[in-house]
A and B are shown apart, each in its own frame.
Chain A
Amino acid sequence: ETGVTQTPRHLVMGMTNKKSLKCEQHLGHNAMYWYKQSAKKPLELMFVYSLEERVENNSVPSRFSPECPNSSHLFLHLHTLQPEDSALYLCASSLGRGSNYGYTFGSGTRLTVV
């Protein structure tokens, strides 16, 4: 399989639940990203991993916890979320870190916090 695959596509969770979002790429890319997309707001960069090391954390609340066990997989662990965390969460990858490389995006996980 090629491209960036995100699972699940849809997730509904209560505020006390713990869940994880998964992102997988088989493009040989070395950088992976988590973005949050909320209605009528620009995409918010949450985390950046380069060669499996976290290189950026944009003041994201600790209830979001990323994990990158290898260059092909990226997770976003969620716990005690708030309703305002409901959004589309997009994963992307690129050959190397930096915008001079094109980003390949997954289809996203639509998260609803109830």
Chain B
Amino acid sequence: AQSVTQPDIHITVSEGASLELRCNYSYGATPYLFWYVQSPGQGLQLLLKYFSGDTLVQGIKGFEAEFKRSQSSFNLRKPSVHWSDAAEYFCAVGARGDMRFGAGTRLTVKP
């Protein structure tokens, strides 16, 4: 069965700094990969997804993610973080089955 690991529980970055959130997955073939964001008191919003093709995926809000098969990773990046990016970020993996989520990484943005 597929699984996903987010190694960082909490990350703090300064506003304007770059961001990278890590995600590692376990699956025998190329899975479908997703990043979601959850603001306090809200549900999850899809940032971007990877199914196949170009390994660098662009998403909403200026986020991008790169699929690296050799490392079984799908890290999320943003060149310059805004205070409004403070939230919980979830990586998810799926195949023919249903989506499985990582435990999340909480992002704090310092002024």
* A residues apposed to B, CB below 8 Å: 4, 6, 33, 40-43, 45, 48, 56, 90, 92, 97-100, 102-108, 110
Contact status B98-A56, CB under 8 Å: yes
* A99/B32 in contact, CB under 8 A: yes
B28 within 8 A of A: no
Given A40-B9, A42-B101, A100-B32, A90-B44 contact (CB < 8 Å): yes
| Docked CA distance A99–B49 (Å) | 10
B43 and A99 contacting across the interface, CB-CB below 8 Å: no
Residues 70-96 of B contacting A (Cβ, < 8 Å):
90, 92-96
Q: What distance in Å separates the Cβ of A70 from its nearest Cβ neighbour in chain B? A: 21
Bound-complex Cα distance A46 to B66 (A): 30
Complex-state Cα separation, A110 to B104, whole angstroms: 18
**B26 adjacent to chain A (CB < 8 Å):** no
Residue pairs across A and B with CB atoms within 8 Å: the count is 58
Contact residues in A for B41 (Cβ distance below 8 Å):
107-108, 110
Please tell me which one of the listed residues A4, A99, A108 contacts residue B99 in the complex, with CB atoms under 8 A apart. Answer: A99
CA A35 to CA B88, docked complex, whole Å:
16
State in angstroms the CA–CA spacing of A103 and B98 once bound together.
10
- The interface size bin for chain B is 20 to 34
Evaluate contact between B101 and A99: CB separation under 8 angstroms.
no
Q: For residue A54, give the distance in angstroms from its CB to the closest CB of chain B.
A: 13
Q: Give the docked Cα–Cα distance between A4 and B43 (Å).
A: 10
| Contact between chains at B98 and A48 (CB < 8 Å) | yes
Nearest-CB distance from A68 to chain B (Å)? 16
> Given A90-B43, A107-B42, A107-B43, are A102 and B49 also a contact pair (CB < 8 Å)?
yes
* Max chain B Cβ within 10 angstroms of own Cβ: one of A6, A100, A104, A108: A100
Q: Are A105 and B98 in contact (CB under 8 A)?
A: no
A40-B9, A42-B103 are contacts. A97–B98 as well, Cβ < 8 Å?
Answer: yes
Contact B98 A102 (CB under 8 A): no
